[in-house]
Amino acid sequence: MKPLNLSQQEVLSISQRHILSVDKMYRMHAGVSSSLTAVKEGIVYLEVNVNIKWLEKKSPLKTAKQFADSWRHGNKELRAASGYIVNIFQTNRIAGFTLPAKKWNSRLADELRKKMSIEEINQLIFVYREFYN
């Protein structure tokens, strides 16, 4: 069987669909994000941006497995992949937020918007590789 290879346009299309259907929840509720960067020779390449708050609750290994499974099971085009490489970056910027209507106020919303717009500093902290039979 020929290894899975996708064009950058196909990768972008899958990534956008996944962000709008699955990843948005991570962005809004945890301030964490993931993106599909390439699919070459059967290997799916993901980047995951996490913050210190996330890392206090979940290890980079569990995070990598969680996001690899999410992308693999959530996108039929990726199910034929022979493996995943997930790069985990610790970031100083949140990817999104939600505010319950009862707690909403413009000052808090402005503070959160500022946290989203600061200059992003990413540090690679973990690389996960998983290959399937």
User: What is the mean pLDDT of the segment spanning 94-108?
Assistant: 76
Overall residue count recorded for the chain in this entry? 133
Q: Rounded to two decimals, what is the model's pTM?
A: 0.85
pLDDT (0 to 100) of residue 105: 76
CA distances in angstroms from 19 to 25, 26, 46, listed in the order given:
9, 9, 13
Q: What is the pLDDT at residue 112? A: 76
Total domains, the chain: 1
49 lies in a domain?
yes
Residue 96 is predicted with a pLDDT of 79
pLDDT at position 133 is 66
Which candidate, 61, 51, 27, places its Cα nearest to that of 120? 51
Does residue 2 sit within a domain? no
Mean pLDDT of 37-62: 96
Q: Do residues 111 and 118 make contact, with C-beta atoms less than 8 angstroms apart?
A: no
For residues 96 and 4, the model is more confident at: 4
Full domain range(s) for residue 21: 8-131
The DSSP symbol for 32 reads -
| 37, pLDDT greater than 80 | yes
Q: What percent of the chain has pLDDT over 70?
A: 98
Average pLDDT, the chain: 91
pLDDT at 14 over 90: yes
Q: Is the pLDDT of residue 99 over 90?
A: no
Share of the chain above pLDDT 90, in %: 71
Tokens at 51, concatenated: 């913050």
Residue 1 lies in a domain: no
Let me know if residue 110 belongs to a domain: yes
